[in-house]
Amino acid sequence: MKCRHCDSNLDNVFLDLGFAPPSNAYLREEALQKPELTFPLKLYVCNQCWLVQTEDYNAADELFSNDYAYFSSTSQSWLNHAKDYAFDITKELNLTEKSFVIEIASNDGYLLKNFKSNKIPCLGIEPTNNTADAAEKIGIPVLREFFGVKTANFLSQSGKSADLICGNNVYAHVPDINDFTEGLKIALKQGGTINLEFPHLLNLIDKNQFDTVYHEHFSYLSLLTVCNIFSSVGLRIFDVKTLSTHGGSLRIYGCHVDDSRLTSKNVSELLKKEEDFGLDKIERYIGFQDKANKVKNDFIFFLIQQKRLGKKIASYGAAAKGNTLMNYAGIKHDLIDFVCDAAVSKQNKFMPGSHLPILSPSELKKFKPDWVVIFPWNIADEVLDLYSEVLNSWGGKFVIAVPELKVLN
């Protein structure tokens, strides 16, 4: 296998989580009687450009299908994040009714609706029909395609170059990261700005967030690597901000390489932090497998121990994180009874691999579990606030498994 960015040979395995189905391939009941397709879930690190990447990626249309079950608007904290970002960037870039905003992977319109309400022209690019339908219902225009050079040329030739191109948690999902990045350059106006948010590789390693690894995440990104990829197509990162979202993310600010804006010291300072952490040295990547194994083993031991005590265990959040953890650990219905999720698009389906039924959160009150495992640990505070009756009404407890087993109060 060759590196997806620099074409170097990939010889160093960073993490091997065995075989698993795609994490967002939720099953309907009739599919439970059929064979289930699984793929190797293995990460390599390139010792030339330091891009961490999945082994032999699948066709994107197999992972992001028309019944894609992830709707961004399900999480109120994420909606708040999007609203705050839209307000701040509109002010920062002085966006007006004469500006044009493109969001790549616009999902259900969770972000662009904030620009639309301020009468700023916008366009969503979204390949999954059900989320695009939801966006169009609230008045967001959507181009139903995967983004890359072909789409960017169409936009440019149609006079739709952007003052702002934004993409939240899409850059890591791109199979051909070079084509995608070249597309960014083509679709960006002179003087325009690119904002991409993605989980920071440094946090994945430092905080043992191995459950953020899944097939739909083709790349695991550092600022060092993204600077190199941008530079290769004539783009430059002139600023970067650290965010708390998704366990610690970066928001990069990109522009054409000849843009007059100066590069912020934030860029050099974060690059130095990554260098000090060792993201440009193979030794930093060796040994991460042992950390993942410890989390898996501790979690299995906890579940078995509680079951032997006669405790009832449910879980919250039919998230990709949960699927990665459960499939790597081999957890089935005998240890966790069900998972509940607020997304109606996921309810009455089954988790891939583990086949746990996905139910409405109202089932918690009926079942009264002794333990609720929160799989999306990045929104644990939100879950505790929304379902405080678990603690207050029958004395149940919440627990997370990553980055280490922890009981939440």
Query: The whole model's pTM is what?
Result: 0.89
Q: Could you read off the pLDDT of 162-218 as tens digits, one per residue?
A: 999 999 999 999 999 999 999 999 999 999 999 999 999 999 999 999 999 999 899
The architecture that CATH gives domain 289-408 is 3-Layer(aba) Sandwich (3.40)
Enclosing H/E stretch for 184: helix 177-187
Statement: residue 69 has pLDDT above 50: no
CA angle 112/117/121 to nearest 5° reads 60
Taking the C-alpha atoms of residue 2 and residue 198, their distance in angstroms, rounded to an integer, is 23
Specify burial of residue 291 (Cβ count, 10 A radius: 0-12, 13-18, 19+): middle
Statement: residue 379 has pLDDT above 70: yes
Fold of the CATH domain 146-284: Rossmann fold (3.40.50)
The confidence score (pLDDT) of residue 78 equals 84
Choice between 345 and 341, residue whose per-residue pLDDT is larger: 341
The confidence score (pLDDT) of residue 270 equals 98
Statement: residue 54 has pLDDT above 60: yes
Taking the C-alpha atoms of residue 20 and residue 274, their distance in angstroms, rounded to an integer, is 31
Statement: residue 280 has pLDDT above 50: yes
The confidence score (pLDDT) of residue 72 equals 65
The confidence score (pLDDT) of residue 56 equals 66
Statement: residue 126 has pLDDT above 60: yes
User: Can you tell me the mean pLDDT for 213-224?
Assistant: 94
With contact defined as beta carbons under 8 Å apart, do 171 and 103 qualify?
Answer: no
The confidence score (pLDDT) of residue 75 equals 75
Statement: residue 92 has pLDDT above 80: yes
| Domain ranges (residues) in the chain | 146-284, 289-408
Statement: residue 119 has pLDDT above 50: yes
The confidence score (pLDDT) of residue 345 equals 87
The confidence score (pLDDT) of residue 157 equals 97
Domains 146-284 and 289-408 share a fold: yes
The confidence score (pLDDT) of residue 409 equals 79
**What percent of the chain shows pLDDT beyond 70?**
95
